[in-house]
A and B are shown apart, each in its own frame.
Chain A
Amino acid sequence: MMPRVENAEELRVWREELVKARDPNQPIVRVCLGPGCLAQGADKVAQAFKQTIKEKKLAVEVRPLVKETGCHGFCKIGPLVNLAPSGLFYARVKPEDVESILDLSVVKGEVIERLLYSENGTQYKTAAEIPFYKMQQKIAMRNLGIIDPLDFEDVVAAGAYQAAAKALTEMTPEEVIAEVERSGLRGRGGAGFPTGRKWRTAANALARRPGPAYIVCNGDEGDPGAFMDRAIMEGDPHSVLEGLIIGAYAIGAHEGFIYVRTEYPIAVKNLRTAIKQARELGLLGKNILGTGFDFDLQINRGAGAFVCGESTALFTSIEGKPGEPRPKYIRSAEEGLWGRPTVLNNVETLANLPGIIQNGGEWYAGIGAKGNSGTKAFSLVGKVKNVGLVEVPMGVPLSRIVEEIGGGVPGKDRFKAVQTGGPSGGCIPYELKDTSVDYDSLTKAGSMMGSGGMIVMDDRDCVVDVARYFLRFLEDESCGKCLPCRLGLKGMLEFLDRFAKGKGKIEDIDELENLAQAVKDGSLCALGGSAPNPVLTTIKYFRDEYEAHIKEKKCPAGVCKDLITYRIDPDACTGCGVCAKNCPQECITGEKKKPHVIDESLCIRCGMCLDSCRFEAVKVE
């Protein structure tokens, strides 16, 4: 049990003492346990470090500390390990490497070259030098990769709850709202609504109708391809709690909820632990830091419904009902949970608040672009070299993120399109690569910022297929309540399925646009309302690709199954026969050690042969 912190002064002093007590020569091994590294076995690497340190007598004055941290961001080259005080940055670390790292790098300070990251012929010793990191500016993800999120001393030393203490003891709720308004912070979950304005609406609504008010954290990150919120919830849960305390104080709420999607069990676990710690220390619960302000939190897990990322559906889910959105002619800030003033803020939005309160709204407004202040976290995935999480100031051109930080498209000199905003967004073509990445510019281009998923596509990705993919995803996730969405998405898919099968008519493109507009105008919520975006942007920017599917019955990217053929290249085929064994149609024939042949009339383009061939002899045309 940790002792309660009685007031802000005690918190400040505790932090000072922790920072002073730090030995700059203390060896620290920081192992990234972010989503990407974890999926590559980073937990085994961390375990190996802990075990080996325990068992070996290392020739150092001080035993190395092992910190399991949040996401370092460069997921592509994980598992990642960062060493202090040397600053050595190792990539693709395996449990077998642990002993050498301890013996050579930690004890002797030697560099293990094969574990360093290299790019374009240059080898990098520390993370700070790597271009991927150099061009970023971290505010929301400031602590990821540095602190052990569940080690409370680490958390306090990093400055957690100082901003909440300042707000609660030195500012009035009105001053907190004003500071956030000054910062220009806009909702990081997708729509980009000004946070300060939302808080003010709620505070005013509460003043008009006294009673309970609520603050809710939207941790439902449903956009496929986005995992920034996951990284923050797992790697720095206290920053989320701190943001909620600040917001609750500002609007006058005493009860808060964190809605986390069920597909993120580690985030749930870490948030639960963080809440428990905060309660023990008196940072949550009654009379926080002796200020008389009461506030506590509860975690609600999602249950597998993308639509619950929508505010009214999320509230309905917290109320214990099916997640069906409600028509929103009265703002949730005025009437939300159980009809009471409710503020819903995204994880990343909340993680930005401590910095804004500590450094002032003007500081935040000075970063980024006009009307789009601050930084934004993006998950850069798809056909890009450097896959991972990045945080950059708003207003950076798209090309900087994809080409300079992302390293460009492997094997190609340009990307075809970048999908932003998830299923609600659109594709930005290469021709618009200098588009400024901010809410307004992306919306003007027909897409939207969304939660920050950035999916890079190359010429082997078909836009008709991508539009179809998003529509199928949304059709699957539709709550089914309103006709334009439930029936309209199905209808739009019928058009796209015809295109993909080479059965479309040229008039269909315009008809599809009209149907898309009807779905956009008529849908009850933003799921249906934004579902047409991928279709509309791909038609706008890649109409010729649609026409190729219709007029020439060809899929230029080689994706749409009915319009392509699989062929074995006789020059590359070694006749090993693995493909024939795997073919469910048994349509591959050939003698041993002689080039094999696919019978196209039987081939269903399932991809089994493509998948099993070790010689890349199966060609898609």
Chain B
Amino acid sequence: MNEKAKNKQVINFTIDGRPVQAEPGWTVLETARQYGFHIPTLCYHEAVSPSGACRLCVVEAREGKWSKVVISCMYPPYEGVEILTDSPRVQNVRKWILELLLAECPASKEIRELAAEYGVHSTRFEIKNPTEQCVLCGLCVRVCDEIVGVRALSFGSRGTSKRVTTPYMVPSEACVACGCCVAVCPTGAMKSRLDQVRGDLAERIGHAHG
């Protein structure tokens, strides 16, 4: 470590007061995980590019009097910056996101557990869809695009009407039923709607499935 410190390439900074080092190109999140700091994420997966959608991985970046809340999954650390993973501002952002998620995805066990981890057990917000599990993290879309390459899935509409869907909301001819989308989905959402994406499996593979 000391030799690396002499090497100008390495970036020295602190996380929660502890000195850490990042190699060029590392994000704060990657560095934090190397050192065993726990930062929650939903839309982050090592296999695909980061998107910065869930904002759960927020940390506070401080330098003297200046500070800013940033997402650790994409923020490039620089020499001397102080990163705080649990400051009041960070806690505030996290707790509201989790409470809002409880209302948005009431059917997701994973969200309930994640929220409970941070002391959020109930929500005051209106529950519009009691069976919803999808947080719109976009991991399924990105894996289908970047890794599998068939691009069967994408986002439709925008804002509160945004949905993960196949074109025209009918089973996609491009889907190859590989199951990667289910593998990366952080909740049970993709599993429960797989039939809508790939259609009837027997039809796809030409014979009845096991």
| Nearest CB on B from A503, distance (A) | 13
- Who on chain B is nearest to A487 by CB? B100
Flag whether B76 is at the interface (Cβ < 8 A). Answer: yes
Instruction: Assess whether B58 is in contact with A522, with CB atoms less than 8 Å apart.
Output: yes
Residues in A with CB closer than 8 Å to B58 are 521-522
Most buried by A among B51, B103, B135, B158: B158
Q: Are B97 and A487 closer than 8 Å at their CB atoms?
A: yes
Is A488 an interface position by the 8 A CB rule?
Answer: yes
Inter-subunit contact B89/A494 (CB<8 Å): no
Minimal beta-carbon separation of A507 from chain B (angstroms)? 11
Q: Is the CB of A481 within 8 A of B53?
A: yes
- How far does the alpha carbon of A515 sit from the alpha carbon of B89 in the complex, in Å? 11
Residue B65 lies at the interface, judged by CB distance under 8 Å to chain A: no
Interface string of B105-125 (1 = CB under 8 A from A): 000000000000000000001
Q: For B89, what are the chain A residues with a Cβ–Cβ distance below 8 Å? A: 517, 521
In the bound complex, do residue B76 and residue A482 qualify as a contact, i.e. CB atoms below 8 Å apart?
Answer: no
Is the CB of B104 closer than 8 A to any CB of chain A?
yes
Are B55 and A322 closer than 8 Å at their CB atoms?
A: no
Q: With an 8 A cutoff between CB atoms, is B136 at the interface?
A: yes
Residues of A within 8 A of B104 (CB): 487
Contact A486 B159 (CB under 8 A): yes
- B70 lies within 8 A of chain A by Cβ: yes
Residues on B with beta carbons closer than 8 Å to the beta carbon of A311: none
Residues of A in contact (CB 8 Å), total 31
Question: Does A478 make an interface contact (CB < 8 A)?
Answer: yes
- Within 8 Å by CB of B93, from A307, A491, A518, lies A518
Q: B135 to chain A: which residues have CB within 8 Å?
A: 483
- A491 touches which one: B55, B76, B100 (CB < 8 A)? B100
Cross-interface CB contact of A515 among B51, B96, B138, cutoff 8 Å: B96
B69 touches A521 (CB 8 A): yes
Q: Using a Cβ–Cβ cut-off of 8 Å, how many residues does chain B contribute to the interface with A?
A: 35
Question: B6: CB under 8 A from chain A?
Answer: no
Interface assignment of B52: CB less than 8 Å from any CB of chain A: yes
In the complex, how many angstroms separate the beta carbon of B96 from the nearest chain A beta carbon? 4
For the complex, what is the distance from the CA of A305 to the CA of B159, rounded to whole Å?
11
Cβ A478 vs Cβ B160 within 8 A: yes
A609 within 8 A of B: no
| CB nearest to A529 among chain B residues | B69
Q: Is the pair A322, B158 in contact by a Cβ cutoff of 8 Å?
A: yes
Q: Chain B residues with Cβ under 8 A from A329's Cβ?
A: 70, 74-76
- Residue in chain B with minimal CB distance to A326: B52
Which one of A327, A488, A517, A523 has the highest number of Cβ atoms from chain B below 10 Å of its Cβ?
Answer: A327
**Main SS at interface, chain A:** helix
Interface residues of B in 46-64 (CB under 8 A from A): 51-56, 58
A164 → chain B closest CB, angstroms: 38
Interface positions of A from 467 to 483, Cβ below 8 Å from B: 475-483
Contacts of A522 in B (CB 8 A): 55, 58, 69, 93, 96-97
Chain B's nearest CB lies how many Å from the CB of A573?
A: 41
Q: How far is the CA of A483 from the CA of B97 in the complex (A)?
A: 7
B136 proximity list for chain A (CB < 8 A): 480-481, 486
Given A322-B155, A481-B53: A488 and B92 within 8 A (CB)? no
Nearest to B42 among chain A residues (CB) is A483
A80 at the interface (CB under 8 A from B): no
Complex alpha-carbon distance, A522 and B90, angstroms: 8
Contacts of B76 in A (CB 8 A): 329
Given the interface contacts A524-B53, A524-B55, does A483 sit within 8 Å of B158 by beta carbon? no
Q: Which residue of B lies closest to A522 (CB)?
A: B93
**Please, which residues of chain B bring their CB within 8 A of the CB of A326?**
52
Contact (Cβ within 8 A) B158 A521: no
Cα distance, A486 to B134, chains bound together (Å): 13
**Is A484 a contact of B126 with CB atoms below 8 Å?**
no
Chain A CB within 8 A of B101 CB: yes
What is the CA–CA distance of A482 and B138 in the complex, to the nearest angstrom?
A: 10
- Which of A475, A480, A523 counts the most chain B CB atoms within 10 A? A480
Per-residue CB contact flags for chain B residues 138-170 toward chain A (1 = under 8 Å, else 0) read: 100000000000000001011111100000000
B71 within 8 A of A: yes
Q: Is A514's CB within 8 Å of the partner chain B? A: yes
Q: Could you tell me the distance between the alpha carbons of A514 and B101 in the complex, rounded to whole angstroms?
A: 17
Cβ contact within 8 Å between A484 and B158 = no
Report A516-536 CB contacts with B as 1/0, cut-off 8 Å. 011101111000000000000
Bound CA–CA A483/B52 (angstroms): 10
What residues of chain A lie closer than 8 Å to B53, measured between beta carbons? 481-483, 524
Is A166 interfacial (CB-CB < 8 Å)? Answer: no
Contacts of B51 in A (CB 8 A): 481
Return A492 CB to nearest CB of chain B, in Å.
10
Q: Is A50 an interface residue (CB 8 A)?
A: no
Which residues of B are found within 8 Å of A327, using beta-carbon distances?
A: 52, 71, 74
Is B162 touching A486 in the complex (CB atoms < 8 A)? yes
Q: Which residues of A contact B97 (CB under 8 A)?
A: 483-484, 487-488, 518, 522
Q: How far is the CB of B22 from chain A (nearest CB, A)?
A: 14
A182 within 8 A of B: no
A490 within 8 A of B: yes
Return A505 CB to nearest CB of chain B, in Å.
Answer: 10
Given A329-B76, A476-B159, the answer on whether A482 and B93 have CB atoms closer than 8 Å is: no
Given A481-B53, A490-B160, check contact A521 B93 (CB 8 Å).
yes
Residues of A within 8 A of B92 (CB): 514, 517-518, 521
CB proximity to A under 8 Å, residues B63-104: 69-71, 74-76, 89, 92-93, 95-97, 100-101, 103-104
The chain A residue sitting closest to B74, CB to CB, is A327
**In the complex, what residues of A have CB within 8 A of residue B69's CB?**
521-522
Please determine whether B96 and A491 come into contact, CB atoms closer than 8 angstroms: yes
**A329-B75, A482-B53, A523-B55 are known contacts. Are A487 and B93 too (CB-CB below 8 A)?**
no
Give Cα A524 to B155, complex, Å. Answer: 17
Cβ of A482: which chain B residues have Cβ within 8 Å of it?
52-55
Interfacial chain A residues near B95, Cβ < 8 Å: 518
Which 10 A/B pairs are nearest by Cβ-Cβ distance?
A480-B162, A487-B100, A518-B96, A521-B69, A327-B52, A522-B93, A478-B159, A480-B159, A522-B55, A518-B93
11 pairs of residues in contact across A and B, judged by CB atoms under 8 Å: A305-B158, A327-B74, A329-B74, A475-B160, A478-B158, A483-B55, A483-B97, A490-B125, A515-B96, A518-B92, A524-B52
